[in-house]
Structures are given as C-alpha cells and as structure tokens.
Amino acid sequence: MRRTMKSPAMRRLTAAAVALGSCLALAGPAGLAGAAPADPVPTVFFGDSYTSNFGIAPVNNQDSARGLCFQATENYPAVATRRLADKGVTLDVQSDVSCGGALLHHFWQDQELPFGGGTLPAQQGALKQDTQLAVGSLGGNTLGFNRILKQCSDELRKPSLLPGDPVDGDAPAATCGEFFETGNGKQWLDGQFELVAGQLEELLDGIGYLAPDAKRVLVGYPRLVPEDTTQCLTAAPGQTQLPFADIPQDALPVLDQIQKRLNDAMKKAVTDIEGGADFVDLYAGTGANTACDGADRGIGGLLEESQLELLGTKIPWYAHPNEKGRDLQAKQVAATAELALNR
C-alpha cells in the first residue's frame, strides 16, 4: 500500500481528523500553553536545494549517492537546530532528506539523481508516527524556475550543471520578459502555478496523514531580485560577472513577480490547509539581501563561484543562498518553529 494520499476526498477526511485532533490537544491543561517542549522534539527536514543549501561546502554523504544532493553539512536545518537549542528547544532530528533538484512530487515519489547516480526514496519515508515537527521547502523546481532562468539567459542555455531546458528555446533570451507576460509563455506559467498549488496541498496533507502530531512548517524562498533593479547593473565586490549575468534588466521585475507569485501560492496553501500549518515568509524578510545587494547579498550570483568544486572546477551559485543567506534562513525558520512548538 502506498503511504500517500491521492484522493481529494481522502485528503479532506484526513485533514478534518487532524483538525479534530488539534482541537482536542488545545483542550488540555491551560498551564501548558506557551511552554517550551520539555523533551527533545522528533523532527524531519525535507526539501530541495534551498533547504540542502547547494553551494555551501562541505557536503554530507560524500561517500554515497546522497552526496549528489549537495546537502551542506552546515545547511539551515543544522544551523536552525543549534539556534533553537540555545533557546532551550531541543530537536531530535530523525532525518534531513533535503536534496538538490527535488520537485514537489519527490515528496511521495522516488527522485532520480544526476550523473546516473541512482534514485532516492520518496522524502515522505522519513516521517514517523511520532514526528512532531516537519520543516522544509519545495515548489521552485516544480514551477520550473531553472527553465525560467534559462529562458532569459543565453549564458545559462550553454551546457552546465543547471538542469532543464528553456521553456521555448526558439524564443530569444532578450525577449523573455514579454514572453512570460503574453501568449504561450504566460499560458505555460499559469499551468505551472496550477500544478504547484495542487501539489503543495497534497504535500501538506501527506505530512498530516503520516505524522498526525507534527507541526507543519513550509519555508518560502528568499528574495532574489531587489525592487530597484539598477542595483543589478553593478557586480558585487570581488566579482566580474553581474549578479544575473546576461539576463536583460527589463526581465528582472518579471522574474521578481514570478517569485512573489510563488511565495503567495505557498502562503495560500498554508492558509487554506485544514489542521493548521505555518509559513516562513523569507521573501518578505530578505529584501535587503538579494543577489544585487553587493557585500550584503545573501544570494550568490548566477555565475558567481560557489564553495563547491566538481572535477577541480568551481560550481556557480546559480542564485542560491550563501552563508549570510543561509543564516537568514536559519534565523527565521528557528523563530517560526519555536512559535509553532510553543502553541
């Protein structure tokens, strides 16, 4: 029997049961409200490259296939766990299954690794009946953000580690802003958002089904593009490439709106889900630390060299959080998790 729910009716029924369980839990002794958990909290972290913190070295599991997840030893789950411990909240991390390249459906289906590295089991397998906290982020890869970036950049269309193809390779990268706001490009994007919305619901329902007592914390994505895109016309200190390489400046606000729309979709999924969940709004909290904020950037530029090497060659950040960005993620995730556990 599969351990995931496909039927909307089943999802609604299970969500109602979770909601009832939450109400019963709230009927307990009032004196316990707001108290930090006395015992270690069984916790599972899940997610994609923004949870595994692609680009930060060293990485875990270098002697196994999971090394291809590029999961940083010091990713935000590890840093947030220490921040919570400093506040008297101890997490018993049952597993961190975050993996670069993961799509939403890899929460309930196997994930094929790059370079013929084999497959990983569905991330939901890490959840246990006694899991009390489930934290992570998925959605950006399902939306196809890599494909969106490639649609806008001739440089990124060249062979690289960045997976995926442009949405329409025949459409010039220079016209990508217009491409995503009209015609087939807009139609494709709308369809991707529909897919993301439905699968986010399935993800959150699945956590509630497999770990009925778990607090669910969905983590959004940090902001990549600033409000003032003229900042993106200057390379960061010590860099020669612009933060967004050859992506046209007029396309940057379009990329920002796509990211904001994804953030809103994630926030809506958390708001709509029965049984309760929490959202970490990193987009709202990282506007001063975008890829274009120079020395204050929390995002490594598209082609800026990261801390990782493959066959002696530095791998670009591809717009992932650097250590400053990772620490911003960890701070906000720890604060949200603490609030959730103290309710």
By annotation, the residues acting in catalysis are 49, 101, 141, 320
Amino acid at 97: V
User: What are the tokens at 201?
Assistant: 């619901």
In angstroms, the CA 6 to CA 205 distance is: 10
Amino acid at 170: D
**57, 77, 127, 142: which is closest to 280 by C-alpha?**
77
Alpha helices in the chain (DSSP H): 8-26, 49-52, 76-86, 140-143, 145-151, 154-157, 176-179, 183-210, 252-272, 282-285, 323-342
Pairing of strands 111-112, 119-120: antiparallel
In angstroms, the CA 309 to CA 242 distance is: 21
> For residue 214, how far is the Cα from the chain centroid?
19
62 CB neighbour count, 10 Å cutoff: 10
